[in-house]
Structure 1
Amino acid sequence: MTDHTHIEGLLGRVALADRTAFGELYRLTSAKLFAVCLRVLKDRGEAEEVLQESFVKIWRGAGRYQSNGLSPMTWLITVARNAAIDRLRRRQSRPEQSVDVTRIVFADPTPGPEARVIAGSETGVIMACFGELEPSRAEAVRRAYLDGESYDDLAGRFDVPLNTMRTWLRRSLLKLKECLSR
């Protein structure tokens, strides 16, 4: 059974409230989803919280996952990435608060072992695929999907109409998907 099929089967069982399947799904996917959250939030503590929130959403929403030939990891990563972006936007919209510098605890900025393993195994392939995109398109994709910038912000940054930015991103994602499936 392929990983793709196995994870789809686990999602189906999770939709039926199978706690054992949920535990296995967590074991198989949490490191990758944590890396996604950490990449967006750049804060280990927040990334851990968002990972937990993501798995709550996965538990509640597994019935909405539909097998459509795409990787179930795509759906799981989208859930985690969207939760991280939502957290990032909430963080950015909060008014500045006074900070008691005697209580600041600095997070360790280095990636954990899980993130290093994931990054090491997939970075080369992903970077090669990004290299196939025009530089401006690659930067737009990174800013939208890894840094959480809005389409509107990107359109302003690249001085293009909003619909053009949407087209850039959609076409770039299709090219990346094609490259990664080779």
Structure 2
Amino acid sequence: MKCDILTLAGLWNSGPQHWQTHWERKYPAWTRVPHRDWNNPDRDEWVAELDAAIAECEGRPILVAHSLACMLVAQWAQSGSKLKIAGAFLVAPSDVEAASYPIDANGFRPIPLAKLPFPSIVVASSNDEYVAPDRARMFALAWGSKLVEIGPAGHINGGSGYGPWPEGEAMLDEFCRDLNP
């Protein structure tokens, strides 16, 4: 499998109006990493599924994650995998330690706060129901990620009006160019 971009949907598998789904339709070579149970994700199982998807790539992919999948990327980074990625574009990381998180964290706690061993960017909203702005800033700082705060954007998903999301696509394009000058 040749894959420059792996998309990682969050809890409930980003639906048809979500920006990830729009981007996958626009770029059919991009691959959404499958998961067995989107409603009740298990950290260890999902980390193994991500590792298997990365192993199938010809080169080092860029991970494009939303919500809980941002925590998946942080968990994978500390899993001890010998595989490498080019970078991670992390949008609206869910705070699985917050009371607002809608399901059992299923092993995603504690949140890894070690510096990520690859370039990354965190895109955050000022009114996300699943992560407070100060927590999103703290994750970005701990992970060594560039932080982009886009104002009041809810959870930056289809339900918040982020369908095709051309501004996000432009941010991802710039991130990719910076990785491959």
Structure with bigger gyration radius: 1
> TM-score w.r.t. structure 2 length?
0.31
TM-score normalised per structure 1: 0.30
Higher helix content, 1 or 2? 1
